[in-house]
Amino acid sequence: MIQFIPMLKNIGYAGLKIWNSCGPEILTGLGMAASTVGGVMMCRDTLTVNEAIKKENAEIDKLNAIHSGELKLKDGVEYTEAQYRKDITSVRMRKLRKLTYHYRKSGGLFAGGMLLTAIGTGLLRGRALKTAGTVTAITGAFNEYRNSVRERYGEDADRDILLKAKRTFRLSDNPDPTNPEEHPNELKQVEELSDEIVDYGPMDEDEDVNPFLVFYSADTCPVFRGDVFYDLAYLKGRQAEMNNLLILKGTVTKNDVMFSIGHNLTKKGFDLGWAKVGGGDGFVDFGLFDRATGNPKGWVFDYYKQYHCIPLDLNLDGDIREYAEKDGNRMNGNPKHVRRTR
């Protein structure tokens, strides 16, 4: 018996995890299924209900006939109003008990299904209200922050902070960011990198290009639709496609992403990207969606309303040439292994 305890614990943990993730949906689905089956069974039971209460219906008809004078009791016995009410109530209660017993299975299943549906939809409504409250609070706090930045530094400074934000990235497992000399090839600053133009179409002539930042707009991407919800759904699909490519090939370059969204390619884009090995998290993130819920982040809509474009804040792992050469997945200037699906 003791050997089954760990297995029971694992089953319990798995059930708890499933309940926490999709408990309300399970309740709602079970409730709808149970109420549907119960309704069908009630229709079936209704076809035979007259046979179940045939005797009681006959007694009620007889009592009504005696009370109205159509039938007479033997020996001229008087049938009073009190006796009639007592007898008719007794017969009707017996009829009600038989109806309850007749519909006990179908009615119970239907009522239980409706109860489960009500509980599940109530939990879903509570979850939706909590999510809406959280999104409202986060969006409000971010808007307050952006407004304070604009008031203190001005609109130009606010836009410059977003466009030219600099970050540090690494590929080693445990680099020391305080001592770059120990990892000269693994720890680099964004300002040391510049995207050089290759002959794949026009590019912005800005020499101080942030490799993490890619603009998805009508000027840079021909597939840009101009509908923020449609474009975000499209970008979410491309992000999922790039993560599948990362799982299959082990590496994904920045130009893989650029090509998938219809953007111009760059020379550095063949060297920068993501690798399953190294210090990255093994996830291609465009910086637009919450990784827990998959929903767009609040600042995306705020930026889209101001500039009518969507900035992609790529979480590049860094220079992946070493890992790409090991896996034999170098593009060598040829992006044709990435398929554009739009």
Q: What is the pLDDT of residue 26?
A: 87
> Is 145 among the domain residues?
no
146 exposure class (CB count in 10 Å sphere: 0-12, 13-18, 19+): middle
- What CA–CA distance (Å, rounded) separates 161 from 147? 13
Say yes or no: 176 and 67 in one domain. no
Say yes or no: 189 and 320 in one domain. yes
Q: What is the pLDDT of residue 31?
A: 92
In the chain the first and final C-alpha atoms are separated, in Å, by 58
Say yes or no: 90 and 226 in one domain. no
Say yes or no: 105 and 244 in one domain. no
Given a contact cutoff of 8 angstroms between Cβ atoms, the answer to whether 64 and 96 are in contact is no
Given a contact cutoff of 8 angstroms between Cβ atoms, the answer to whether 86 and 67 are in contact is no
For residue 289, CA distances in Å to 6, 173, 285 come to: 38, 26, 8
Q: What is the pLDDT of residue 4?
A: 67
* Residue appearing with tokens 């979480």: 315
Q: What is the three-class DSSP state of 313?
A: strand
Mark which of 96, 120, 144 sits at the end of a domain: 120
Residue 273, φ and ψ in degrees, nearest 5? 165, -145
- What CA–CA distance (Å, rounded) separates 161 from 169? 19
Say yes or no: 222 and 307 in one domain. yes
Instruction: Kindly give, in sequence order, each residue whose CB lies less than 8 Å from that of residue 38, ignoring residues fewer than 6 positions away.
Output: 106, 107, 108, 109, 110, 111, 112, 113
State the total domains in the chain: 2
> Is 152 among the domain residues?
no
> Is 142 among the domain residues?
no
> Is 211 among the domain residues?
yes
Q: What is the pLDDT of residue 319?
A: 85
Joined together, the tokens standing for residue 297 give 């982040």
Say yes or no: 114 and 234 in one domain. no
Say yes or no: 106 and 238 in one domain. no
Residue 96, φ and ψ in degrees, nearest 5? -65, -40
Say yes or no: 15 and 95 in one domain. yes
Given a contact cutoff of 8 angstroms between Cβ atoms, the answer to whether 246 and 276 are in contact is yes
Angle ∠(118,122,123) on CA atoms, nearest 5? 120
> Is 125 among the domain residues?
no
Say yes or no: 181 and 111 in one domain. no
Say yes or no: 115 and 240 in one domain. no
Q: What is the three-class DSSP state of 6?
A: helix
Residue 37, φ and ψ in degrees, nearest 5? -65, -40
> Is 342 among the domain residues?
no
Q: What is the three-class DSSP state of 64?
A: helix
- pTM listed for this prediction: 0.39
Say yes or no: 72 and 219 in one domain. no
> Is 131 among the domain residues?
no
Domain that holds residue 102: 2-120
Say yes or no: 183 and 322 in one domain. yes
- What CA–CA distance (Å, rounded) separates 128 from 288? 21
> Is 15 among the domain residues?
yes
- Regions in the chain scoring below 70 on pLDDT: 1-4, 75-76, 156-209, 325-342
Residue 251, φ and ψ in degrees, nearest 5? -140, 150
Mark which of 88, 104, 120 sits at the end of a domain: 120
Mark which of 85, 120, 155 sits at the end of a domain: 120
- What CA–CA distance (Å, rounded) separates 321 from 212? 17
